[in-house]
Amino acid sequence: MARSKSAKRKKRGRGRPATGIRPIAGIRLSHETRAAVKKWAASQRDKPTFSEAVRRLIDVGLKSLNEFE
């Protein structure tokens, strides 16, 4: 059965659609730090992306802080 003309379609919002549920945190890194993160990522068995490598290194750093408290 065809839709009636009176049936309203949901209008889409303006702008780019949401791409994720987590907030974005932008950081600036020196060339040396960026190279060190890439080198670390390349040494990992599963070869994480740069973003994933940064997340993992932050997690490692935070976990090590908790050990000293």
Is residue 5 domain-resident? no
Is residue 11 domain-resident? no
Please tell me which residue, 27 or 4, carries the higher pLDDT value. Answer: 27
pLDDT of residue 10: 73
* Domain tally, the chain: 1
Is the pLDDT score of 50 beyond 90? Answer: yes
Task: Give CA 52 to chain center in angstroms.
Answer: 7
Q: CA–CA distance from 34 to each of 29, 43, 48 (Å)?
A: 6, 14, 14
Is residue 46 domain-resident? yes
Is residue 48 domain-resident? yes
Q: Around Cβ 56, how many Cβ atoms within 10 Å?
A: 15
pLDDT bracket for residue 30 (50, 70, 90):
very high
Is residue 35 domain-resident? yes
pLDDT of residue 58: 95
Is residue 55 domain-resident? yes
pLDDT of residue 20: 76
| Residue indicated by tokens 């060339």 | 31
The boundaries of the domain holding residue 58 are 31-68
